[in-house]
Amino acid sequence: MDISFKPEDEAFRSEVREFLASVPPHLKGSTRGELGKEGQLEWHRMLFEKGWVAPGWPEEHGGTGWTITQKYIWQEECAEAEVPIVLPFGVTMVAPVIYTFGDDEQKAKYLPRILSGEDWWCQGYSEPGAGSDLASLRTKAELSEDGKHYIVNGQKTWTTLAQYADWIFCLVRTNPDAPKRQQGISFLLIDMKTPGIEVKPIITIGGHHEVNDVFFTDVKVPVENRIGEENQGWTYAKVLLGHERTGIAGVARSKKAIERLKEIMDQELQDGEPLSADPEFQKKIAELEIDLTALEFTELRTLAAESAGHNPGPESSVLKIKGTEIQQRLTELTLEAVGYYGYPFLSDEQLEGWNESPIGPDYALGSAPTYFNMRKTSIYGGSNEIQRNIIAKMILGL
């Protein structure tokens, strides 16, 4: 694996930096929840116009054709510039399933609108009682008498940004009598404007409306909205989850977060000395950086395999586990570093009409809600306990 920077790579880095310097300040340094729908779409359109919205796609469908090194440079520079992450549900998750397993009509219908940002997608996987054990899902899709539609009934939960979505991709049970649970599942694309769909908000511990419950009551979905064969959806779902887990690792952004934490350490005092002089805190940072470096090379190996045409394998589970653990440790150390200034925080609703100045330095603002929000990372995308089972089976052969 050669990741050395050649002259053409450095020229590409300069081009990336020039582009990122043109990004408006209001799009930088915000999470997807803080940006809202319009901010996310503005960023997506900028990338679409540049032709850089889908680095991982094949060129024939609108991908960039970048090398592994260029993808690595792009991730690093985006993290350094603190620009938003492109919402993964359309570009990174459902699109690879469509261009890999969909028919020509489906590719022509969905891919251009995902690429342009015309369609906002959300993910209909988890259900009450079917989170880590996703194959136990109970949302059912029954074929209509004329064989033209599925009638979908059930509930999906923790559906991120479903309040904005135009479409949802869902795993549904089409054969409740299949000998194995995974064999009776199909992969459907559902228009969120279809009658019978209801979205209800879930307010997170950080006080934000980011996730939702989605209810389906006699929702009619055309059969042509099914990807691939009936009852084979689990096969397609595993490919999607591999792409999702690889993306969750967030190596470049964790590197940037460590830089920011070191800056905080230089400013925060402990017994009159900068926190950066505390050997115990230094040890915690050093251990974190070592783990992150190891994770970075694992990510590069995975990117190299993808560049060679392979789908993410069980290595994506390693990325997911270590990436989320590092993210959680980072937010925990940041909260520890800012001390008492990290405790008071206000939800979006509480901030309305609030005229007082925030307590403490600017870098402390948001550290508590970010810490609380990041508790979820070891659960979503398949809990880390389940990922360890995958590693034990697929890599270690246990």
Asked if residue 374 and residue 281 are part of one domain, the reply reads: yes
197-203/209-222 β-pairing = antiparallel
pLDDT of residue 287: 96
For residue 243, the one-letter residue type is: H
Dig out the tokens for 336 from the structure: 């520890």
Asked if residue 287 and residue 227 are part of one domain, the reply reads: no
d(CA 342, CA 363) in angstroms, rounded, equals 9
User: 3-state DSSP call for residue 398?
Assistant: coil
User: 3-state DSSP call for residue 144?
Assistant: coil
Burial category of 367 from C-beta neighbours within 10 Å (exposed 0-12, middle 13-18, buried 19 and up): buried
Burial 226-261 (b: 16+ CB within 10 A, else e): bbbebbbbbbbbebbbbbbbbbbbbbbbbbbbbeeb
244 among known catalytic residues = yes
Burial category of 151 from C-beta neighbours within 10 Å (exposed 0-12, middle 13-18, buried 19 and up): middle
pLDDT of residue 244: 58
pLDDT of residue 304: 72
Cβ 319 vs Cβ 252: under 8 Å = no
Q: What is the CATH number of the domain that holds 187?
A: 2.40.110.10
Asked if residue 72 and residue 130 are part of one domain, the reply reads: no
The single residue of 76, 244, 296, 299 carrying the catalytic annotation is 244
d(CA 234, CA 183) in angstroms, rounded, equals 7
Asked if residue 224 and residue 155 are part of one domain, the reply reads: yes
pLDDT of residue 33: 58
Which residues of the chain, if any, have pLDDT below 50?
A: 1, 355
pLDDT of residue 345: 57
- Domain residue limits at 279: 249-349+357-394
Asked if residue 189 and residue 259 are part of one domain, the reply reads: no
Looking at the DSSP assignment, which residues form a beta bridge with residue 170? 124, 188
Q: What is the CATH number of the domain that holds 49?
A: 1.10.540.10
Asked if residue 277 and residue 328 are part of one domain, the reply reads: yes
Chosen domain end from 41, 66, 86: 86
Chosen domain end from 86, 108, 139: 86
Residue that has been written with the tokens 């904005």 in this structure: 164
Secondary element (H or E) of residue 151 = strand 149-156
The whole-model pTM stands at 0.83
Q: How many separate domains does the chain show?
A: 3
The Cα-based distances of 129 to 159, 180, 241, 270 in angstroms read 15, 18, 19, 46
d(CA 108, CA 189) in angstroms, rounded, equals 14
Asked if residue 218 and residue 142 are part of one domain, the reply reads: yes
Say what angle helices 68-81 and 279-307 make with each other, to 10 degrees: 140
Burial category of 159 from C-beta neighbours within 10 Å (exposed 0-12, middle 13-18, buried 19 and up): buried
Give the tens place of pLDDT for each residue, 13-32: 999 999 999 999 999 876 65
Burial category of 332 from C-beta neighbours within 10 Å (exposed 0-12, middle 13-18, buried 19 and up): middle
pLDDT of residue 207: 76
Residue 238 counted as domain residue: no
